[in-house]
Amino acid sequence: MTTSSAERGERLRRLGATHVLDRSGDGGPDAPEGFDVVLDVVGGAGLPGLFDRLRPNGRLVAVGAVGGPPPADFGMTLMAQFQRSLSFATFSAATVPAADLRAVREDQFAAAARGGLTTVRHDVLPLDEAVVAHRRMDAGEVFGRIVLAP
């Protein structure tokens, strides 16, 4: 998994991530020299730099783009890695059949009902502070979710 800071990386590890790569390039003292797969939920201008962290035949998978699209020359960056046989893929839940999504949601609700899920709640704010919540999310201050209470 990728993250924006060492502190957030530590929080991800406590939640069960085995390897966390700080988008600055620091994988921590126990990080491998390279990764077979990097899952990135941010995208944006820093996405091409993650190719450098892959082993030969590695794969970079974008599963989100909250940081915006990659730079216009992203394809050229990928082609520059040709000799390392790297690949790039995307994943969007929009491509998952509706029945499969329903099955996953049912499993998640059942797990929540029996106390089997750990939620990551950043903060609880009154509903009339929704603008504040969005500003904090846009500023990258939020780890997890903000709950808006009516």
Segment 71-113, tens digit of pLDDT: 999 999 989 988 999 999 999 888 999 999 999 999 999 999 9
H helix and E strand count, the chain: 4, 7
Q: What pTM was estimated for this model as a whole?
A: 0.68
**55-83 average pLDDT score:** 90
Per this entry, what is the length of the chain? 150
Whether residue 1 has pLDDT greater than 80 = no
| Amino acid of residue 99 | A
10 Å CB burial of residue 73 (0-12, 13-18, 19+) is: exposed
Q: What is the mean pLDDT of residues 36-54?
A: 88
Edge-to-edge strands, sheet with 54-62: 35-40, 54-62, 87-90
Identify the residue with better confidence: 62 or 41.
62
Instruction: Please report, as a single letter, which amino acid is at residue 129.
Output: E
Domains present along the chain, CATH in parentheses: 2-94 (3.40.50.720), 95-149 (no CATH)
* CB contact set of 76 (below 8 Å; sequence gap of 6+): none
Our measurement of the distance from residue 94's CA atom to the centroid of its chain's CA atoms, rounded to an integer in Å, reads: 17
Mean pLDDT of 45-70: 89
Tens digits of residue pLDDT in 130-149: 999 999 988 888 888 899 99
